[in-house]
Structure 1
Amino acid sequence: MVKLKAAAYVLLGFTVSWMLSSFLDVGSLTYITILTLLLLIGVLHEMLHLIAINMFRIEHRFVVKGLYIGFVVNVDSKRKYIITALFPQMLTLVMLLLYIFTLNKTMLVLMLLHVAISTEDIGRCLKYTRL
């Protein structure tokens, strides 16, 4: 069941990125570029988490479990968790500004995909702000 779920996530990732690319009318070469850049954005996303983790000296471990690749943290305050979880959204803001100033559709697709891969972080932050 876990392998089926992982395969479904991979398929969904390709499908969503292809749909966004088609909707925004980007070509095949641009689509391949988007997929390549998405991997780099994923690495940068985790590096930004690590920077925040080190800033707050948070106990952490790196986990690769199926398609989940990231940090598991043990924090002593909700505030530290929220800042650490949302720290990579600086990347989203940079991509948004680049899109606004260049109107580059590739940047828009990358930004939307980064928000999509950040939904777990964002969802947990929303959960902790309600408690």
Structure 2
Amino acid sequence: MTGELIFYAARKTSLCERSLRKSFSELDLIADEAKFAANCKTLGELVVSSLKTNDIVFVTGGLDIGGESDSPSVFARAFADNPPLEMKRLKNSSGSDGYVFASDSQAIILLPDDPQQIENIMNGALRGFLKRYRENKLIA
């Protein structure tokens, strides 16, 4: 599977990226260099561009901004008229939950901007989700 990593209003980006890349290698995910979005308009542009060439887009950060700029609110508005086939909350006992928005062939995954929380989600709910997608050949 190919993926793209986008940081949105994230902290600890180098530690988060290291944590994600470790998980990617364990899951046979390939991701190019990370991209950065400072506002929700840029985030939208990067996600649209990334989905043209990738199966999965990981958006790290922006979960706890609050208001209309936090990443769950941005994606809820984006999908209001055309919801994805699957929307799932990724439970995280040690902090912010993650989210998955998926179609038959692509997924957008929202993760917190804390390396330990990323590892908890990647090794928990998200690992099962990605394996199921791969087995069902919904994502190549």
In the superposition, the TM-score normalised over structure 2's length comes to 0.31
Q: Structure 1 or 2: larger strand share?
A: 2
Q: Structure 1 or 2: larger helix share?
A: 1
